[in-house]
Amino acid sequence: MSDARNQLMSLMKIQELALEIQAAKLVVDGAPAKIEDAENRFRERNAEYVEIKERYDAIDADRRARQIDLGALEESRQHYQDSLMQVKNQREYAAALKEIDSVKARIGEHEEAILKSMEEVETLKSDLEARAAHIETERAIVERERAEVEAAVVHAHARIERDGAERAEIEAGLPAALVANLRRVEEGRKGIFLVKAEHDSCSACHVRLRPQVYQEIKQAAKIHICGNCRRYLYFEAAMNPAAAPPPAAAQAAPPSPSVPQPGAEVEAVNGGAV
C-alpha cells in the first residue's frame, strides 16, 4: 500500500474520531439545558399545585371564619327575639324588628357563602389530590431524565478521552505539516476536513476537478486538497484494501514520483479561493 493511501486511511480514521468527539461534546454541552428543561416542567406543575393549594386554604379559612361568625349572629338574633317581649313602645318594637331583619340578612349571606365555599373546596380538594399524584409522577420522570442525561455525559466524557487518545496516536505517525494543516481545515470547516471526490468534483463544495487530479485521487496515488474549500479529498473505492496492489507488485514497481514523501506538502487542486 502506498504512502498516500496509508495517510488517507489515517485521515479517514481521524475524521471518524473527530466527528465522534464532536458529537460527544455536544452531549456534554447540552446536558445542563436538558436538565434545566426537565426541572422547569416540574416547577410549572408544582406552581399550579401551589396556586390551587393556596386557593383551597383561603376558601377553607374563610368558611371556618364565617361559621364562627354565624354562631355569633344566631346568638344576636335570639337576643333580639327575646328583647321583643320586653319592649315598652312601638318605637322600640320597630327598632328590635329592624335589628332582627339585619341579623337575618347577614345570617343568610353567611350561609350562602358557606354553602358555595364548601362546593368549591370539594372541587379544589379533588384537583389537589389528582395533581399531587401527578407531581409525584412528574418528579420521578424528572429524576429519571436527569439520571439518563448524567449517564450520557459520563459516557461522552469517556468517548472523548478514548477517541482523543486514539487520534493522538494516529497523528503521531503522520507528518507534522499534514496534521497542522488538517487541524486548520477542521477548525474552519466545522470539523469536516476530509470529503469524497465523486463525479469529477469535490462532494463538499462541488468544484470540478481536473481529469488528471481526479485520476490520481481515484488511484490514491497522491494526496490532494480541494483548491476551493481546502478539504482533503479521497475516492471511496480506492480506500478498499482490495484496491491496493499486491505486495510483490508494489515492491517491484519503482517509486512513483507523484507520491509525496512523509512531510511533503499536498497539492491544492484547481487553485480556487479559500
Q: What is the tens place of the pLDDT at every residue in 195-232?
A: 999 999 999 999 999 999 999 999 999 999 999 999 99
pLDDT of residue 126: 86
- Band of pLDDT at residue 268, cut at 50, 70 and 90: low
Lowest average pLDDT, out of 5-19, 82-96, 103-117, 236-250, goes to 236-250
**Dihedral (CA of 78, 82, 84, 86) sign:** negative
Residues 48, 53, 55, 57, Cα dihedral to 10°: -170
- Band of pLDDT at residue 85, cut at 50, 70 and 90: confident
Task: Give CATH 1.10.287.1490 domain extents, the chain.
Answer: 3-172, 176-269
- Band of pLDDT at residue 84, cut at 50, 70 and 90: confident
Whether the predicted model's global pTM rises above the 0.85 cut: no
Q: What is the mean pLDDT of the chain?
A: 84
- Most confident stretch, 41-45, 203-207, 245-249: 203-207
| Contact present, 247 and 209 (Cβ < 8 Å) | no
Instruction: Name the residue with cell 320597630.
Output: 94
Q: Is residue 59 pLDDT above 60, yes or no? A: yes
* Closest by Cα among 145, 229, 237, 139 to 185: 229
The more confident residue out of 180 and 256 is 180
Burial class (CB in 10 A: 0-12, 13-18, 19+), 71: exposed
CATH classification of 176-269 is 3.90.1150.10, yes or no?
no
pLDDT of residue 175: 94
Question: How many residues make up the chain in this entry?
Answer: 274
CATH number for the domain running over 3-172:
1.10.287.1490
pLDDT of residue 7: 95
pLDDT of residue 259: 34
Distant-in-sequence, close-in-space partners of 138: CB < 8 Å, separation ≥ 6 = 41, 42, 45
Q: Is residue 177 pLDDT above 60, yes or no? A: yes
Lowest average pLDDT, out of 52-56, 131-135, 169-173, 234-238, goes to 131-135
- Read off the pLDDT of residues 88-147 as tens digits, 9 standing for 90 and up: 788 877 887 888 888 888 888 888 888 888 888 888 888 888 888 878 888 899 999 999
Burial class (CB in 10 A: 0-12, 13-18, 19+), 113: middle
Cell of 24: 460527544
Q: What's the rounded Cα separation, in Å, for the pair 198 and 222? A: 16
**Residue 50, SS3?**
helix
Percent of the chain with pLDDT over 70: 87
* Closest by Cα among 199, 228, 239 to 9: 239
Q: Edge-to-edge strands of the sheet including 194-198? A: 201-202, 194-198, 232-234, 224-226, 267-269
- β-bridge partners, 195: 233
pLDDT of residue 48: 80
pLDDT of residue 22: 96
- Band of pLDDT at residue 172, cut at 50, 70 and 90: very high
Q: How many CA atoms lie within 13 A of 135 on its CB side?
A: 14
**Residue 267 host element (H or E):** strand 267-269
Alpha helices in 1-89 (DSSP H): 3-83
